[in-house]
């Protein structure tokens, strides 16, 4: 049996080595992007590479910091997209930090599925999605809105989102705004900036962005029946 002191020394050496590689990878990335916001660096399932979370994106960097790879890593034997699986987990963790009272929720009495939708008041397909809210709810799909004004902080779309949030009846205000109605300009404590930053953190590139309960990102509008079929399929796959 290996002596405790020897075992502890091996663990310490392994930890030091990992920290050294971590530093090499961090420095390598910063030579490319000096102000890079590195969220995490972890060992990858891909031999010889570290997995780096960088501004909502996942990249892979060799342990010597020489090569950087962008793309998805697939486990062929198990038919699993390991990169997307990791992204899904990150989305679930991030959205778990958003309480219900920071969302605008449209839900049926009996909920079969819940989706989080990052929306822009002026986005055409966002409006189309909202026009079908009754159909989504009729199929047991609850829609929980967060804001993602694509034009950015301080834009006209941003202010429209604030107007909705600060209205006495947020659900009614959302429906009116999505129909193209100009709402009264309002100001109050609101989560629009935080929502927008969260969307950037998890790597959104457009709206509507639909995120399922398991963290799967479904970019773009989907008709109610197609969405229900997709959600049922994801739930069934999760139980297998």
Catalytic residue selected from 21, 91, 103, 126: 126
Question: Could you give the residue range(s) of every CATH 3.10.450.70 domain in the chain?
Answer: 18-81
From first to last of its 240 residues, what are the pLDDT tens digits of the chain? 445 444 443 333 333 344 446 788 888 888 888 887 788 888 888 889 999 988 778 899 998 889 999 999 999 998 888 999 999 999 999 999 999 999 999 999 999 999 999 999 999 999 999 999 999 999 999 999 999 999 999 999 999 999 999 999 999 999 999 999 999 999 999 999 999 999 998 889 899 999 999 999 998 999 999 999 999 999 888 777
pLDDT score of 56: 73
Give span(s): CATH 3.40.30.10, the chain.
Answer: 102-238
pLDDT of residue 21: 65
User: Which of these is catalytic: 21, 91, 103, 120?
Assistant: 120
Catalytic residue among 123, 127, 166, 195: 123
From the list 87, 91, 103, 150, the catalytic residue is 150
Residue 9 pLDDT:
38
Strand 141-147 relative to strand 113-119: parallel, antiparallel, unpaired? Answer: parallel
Is residue 39 flagged as an active site residue? no
Architecture of domain 102-238: 3-Layer(aba) Sandwich (3.40)
Contact 132, 223 (CB under 8 A): yes
- Nearest one of 142, 180, 139 to 160, comparing CA atoms: 180
To the query of whether residue 188 is one of the catalytic residues in this protein, the response is no
- What's CA 174's distance to the chain center, in Å? 22
**Which CATH number, 1.20.1540.10, 3.30.360.10, 3.10.450.70, 2.40.30.10, labels domain 18-81?**
3.10.450.70
- Per-residue confidence (pLDDT) for residue 40, from 0 to 100: 86
Answer yes or no: are the C-beta atoms of 167 and 173 closer than 8 Å: yes
Give the pLDDT score at 30. Answer: 86
In the 8-state DSSP scheme, what is residue 100? G
Active site includes 166? no
| d(C-alpha 53, C-alpha 195), whole Å | 20
């Amino acid at each position: 049996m290996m002596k405790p002191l020897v075992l502890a020394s091996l663990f310490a050496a392994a930890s030091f080595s990992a920290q050294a590689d971590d530093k090499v990878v961090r420095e390598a990335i910063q030579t490319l992007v000096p102000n890079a916001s590195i969220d995490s660096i972890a060992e990858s399932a891909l031999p010889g590479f570290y997995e780096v979370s960088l501004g909502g994106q996942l990249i892979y960097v060799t342990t010597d910091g020489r090569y950087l790879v962008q793309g998805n890593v697939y486990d062929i034997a198990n038919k699993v997209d390991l990169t997307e699986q990791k992204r899904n987990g990150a989305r679930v963790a991030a959205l778990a930090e958003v309480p219900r009272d920071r969302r605008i929720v449209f839900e049926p009495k009996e909920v079969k599925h819940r989706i989080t939708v990052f929306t822009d008041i002026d986005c055409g397909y966002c409006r189309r999605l909202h026009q079908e809210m009754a159909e989504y709810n009729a199929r047991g799909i609850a829609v929980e809105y967060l804001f993602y004004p694509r034009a950015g902080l301080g834009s006209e779309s941003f202010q429209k989102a604030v107007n909705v949030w600060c209205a006495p009846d947020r659900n009614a205000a959302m429906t009116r705004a999505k129909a193209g109605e100009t709402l009264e300009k309002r100001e109050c404590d609101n989560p629009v900036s935080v929502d927008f930053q969260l969307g950037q953190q998890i790597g959104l590139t457009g709206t509507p962005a639909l995120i399922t309960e398991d963290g799967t990102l479904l970019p773009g509008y989907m008709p109610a029946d197609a969405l229900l079929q997709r959600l049922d399929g994801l739930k069934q796959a999760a139980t297998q």
